[in-house]
Amino acid sequence: MAMTTVTVRVDEQTKKNATAVLADIGLDVSTAVRMFLRQVAIRGQMPIELVRDAVYNEASLPVSREPTAPAKRGEVAKATTTDELG
Domains in the chain, number: 1
Q: What percent of the chain has pLDDT over 70?
A: 65
Convert the pLDDT of each residue in 27-64 to its tens digit. 999 999 999 999 999 999 999 887 766 666 666 666 55
Given a cut of 70, whether residue 68 has pLDDT beyond it is: no
Report how far residue 49's alpha carbon sits from residue 67's, in angstroms, rounded to the nearest whole number: 28
Position 65 scores a pLDDT of: 53
The whole-model pTM stands at: 0.57
Q: How many CA atoms lie within 13 A of 79 on its CB side?
A: 6
Domain with 28 in it: 12-85
3 found inside a domain: no
Say if residues 40 and 67 touch (Cβ distance below 8 Å): no
69 found inside a domain: yes
2 found inside a domain: no
Name the DSSP letter for residue 54.
S
5 found inside a domain: no
7 found inside a domain: no
Position 49 scores a pLDDT of: 82
